[in-house]
Amino acid sequence: MPDPSPIFDLATGYWRSAAFLAAANTGVFEALADGADTPSGVAARLGTDPRATHMLLDACTAMGLLVRHDEAFALTDTAQMFLVPGSPAYLGSALKWSSDQYEPWGRLADAVRRGRPVVDMAAHLGDDPDQTRAFVLGMHERALGVARGVVGYLNIGDARDLLDVGGGPGTYSMLLAQRYASLRATVLDLPGVIRWTRKLVGDAGLDDRVSVVAGDAMVGDYGVSTYDAVLFSGVLHQMSEASIRRMFAGAIRALRPGGVVLISDIMMAPDGSGPLFATLFALQMLLTTAEGGVFRSNACERWLVEAGFVSVTSRVLPPPMPYTVVQGERA
């Protein structure tokens, strides 16, 4: 008889996320930032119920986020680095974004039945200032966790002018500008988004190297023979095939001869068999976008070739980076 344990693990898998996000949202990790404390001490700081707080601390310990010293609990090194406000690697905005996604995921069956998103994507792309701020800052923090590894695989050659299409927080443009001293980057995104991009670029002291321009990336109007490199990083999964083809046509027009186009995104294997994260991320796009999804890497290659690019290659990046990089050249 088959073992049903994997079925039960799947059925209760959300318990872990719910416990973790509850700890983050109630301030557990911040309360323990200065040292170990008892459940009653933590509860007194947070204004929470002592018995319930004890249960939550036990769960966080079992998940490897806390350690126990007799009756007191303390942060692990991982929690201290990523979950405490004020830490350079704090992921607070990213966790806020993840917490905001919890309710929509509970409506996944409804999205599958209707074939439509259950949230208004425009809200976090400028219509709602608070949601937009949380989204942009959350994407920046999430990107920083991976982008430092990804940029080493973005071969821009001797490019001096780069367009970052739908660049959101501008994380990749900033990291590339820091890596290549002669590079100037332009981040193109919606007006409500770039309000926060501009602040992040200014905070990084890169105003003179990274510019920010308002526009709709889906239109595909990026200029003519203006750039040496065009980057699509983590933006195309929000688009339909028709939109992506239009954007690739805009990219080849915008590039100077010999220029490169680079796509860094979550992609399916050529046979569509996975990986698991990509299949689940496709459902995230179903929940939150009108036409987004996760395309296969070989489809991306084909669209580039049909747009006129040559020397098209793709590379699946090593774990833990969940990305594939596809690159082509304008002849």
Closest CA to 165 of 255, 77, 100, 105: 255
Domain count, the chain: 2
Indicate which CATH number applies to the domain containing 173: 3.40.50.150
Domain boundary among 38, 57, 89: 89
Please tell me the predicted confidence (pLDDT) of residue 131.
81
Contact 267, 281 (CB under 8 A): no
pLDDT of 44 over the 80 cut: yes
List the structure tokens of 176. 């590339």
Q: Tell whether 247 and 152 lie within a shared domain.
A: yes
Q: Is 140 a catalytic residue?
A: no
Flag the least confident range among 120-124, 206-210, 315-319.
Answer: 120-124
Q: Is residue 306 part of a domain?
A: yes
Q: Tell whether 124 and 84 lie within a shared domain.
A: no
pLDDT of 56 over the 90 cut: yes
User: Angle of helix 241-254 relative to helix 297-307, nearest 10 degrees?
Assistant: 50
Q: Is residue 95 part of a domain?
A: no
Q: Tell whether 83 and 120 lie within a shared domain.
A: no
Indicate which CATH number applies to the domain containing 82: 1.10.10.10
Q: CA-to-CA distance for 89 and 77, rounded, in angstroms?
A: 12
pLDDT of 248 over the 80 cut: yes
Please tell me the predicted confidence (pLDDT) of residue 127.
75
Average pLDDT for residues 144-157, to the nearest whole number?
87
Could you tell me if residue 166 is left (phi over 0), alpha (psi between -120 and 50 degrees) or otherwise beta?
left
List the structure tokens of 315. 């590379």
pLDDT digits (tens, 9 = 90+) for 176-189: 999 999 999 999 99
Please tell me the predicted confidence (pLDDT) of residue 135.
83
Q: Tell whether 120 and 191 lie within a shared domain.
A: yes
Q: Are strands 66-69 and 72-75 parallel, antiparallel or unpaired?
A: antiparallel
DSSP string, 253-312: HHEEEEEEEEEEE--B-TTS---HHHHHHHHHHHHH-SS----BHHHHHHHHHHHT-EEE
Please tell me the predicted confidence (pLDDT) of residue 122.
72
Q: Is residue 100 part of a domain?
A: no
pTM for this structure? 0.90
Domain boundary among 61, 89, 117: 89
Q: Tell whether 75 and 122 lie within a shared domain.
A: no
Residues in the chain: 331
Annotated catalytic residue, options 54, 69, 124, 237:
237
pLDDT of 320 over the 90 cut: no
Residue 20: which domain range?
Answer: 5-89
Enumerate residues 6+ apart whose C-beta is below 8 A from 134: 93, 96, 97, 100, 124
Please tell me the predicted confidence (pLDDT) of residue 136.
87
Q: Are strands 161-165 and 227-233 parallel, antiparallel or unpaired?
A: parallel
